[in-house]
Amino acid sequence: MTEPSKHTGNARDRDPDLANAEIALKRAARRAREKARKSGVPVVIMKDGKITEEHDKDDAHTDH
C-alpha cells in the first residue's frame, strides 16, 4: 500500500499554478458581477449549499 502524502501547508504553497488559478477565478467573478450589474440582472451563486440569486446592492431598493 502507498503511504499518505506527507506534504504540509495548503495546496497553493506547494503548487504556484493553483495560486494563479485562484487569482484568475476571483478576477472572473468580479467581471461577471460587473457585467451583471451593468445589465441589471442577478448573478446566480451557491451560498450555504443553496443556489440563490445575488442582486446588485445598489439596486436592492427598487422593484423589477
Establish if 2 belongs to a structural domain. no
Establish if 45 belongs to a structural domain. yes
pLDDT over threshold 50, residue 64: no
Domain count, the chain: 1
Q: Which domain holds residue 32?
A: 12-59
pLDDT tens figures, 7-62: 555 655 778 888 899 999 999 999 999 999 999 999 999 999 999 999 887 655 44
In single-letter form, the type of residue at position 4 comes to P
Distance CA 34, CA 30 (A): 6
Distance CA 2, CA 6 (A): 12
Task: Return the pLDDT at 15.
Answer: 87
Establish if 53 belongs to a structural domain. yes
Distance CA 30, CA 55 (A): 14
Model pTM?
A: 0.59
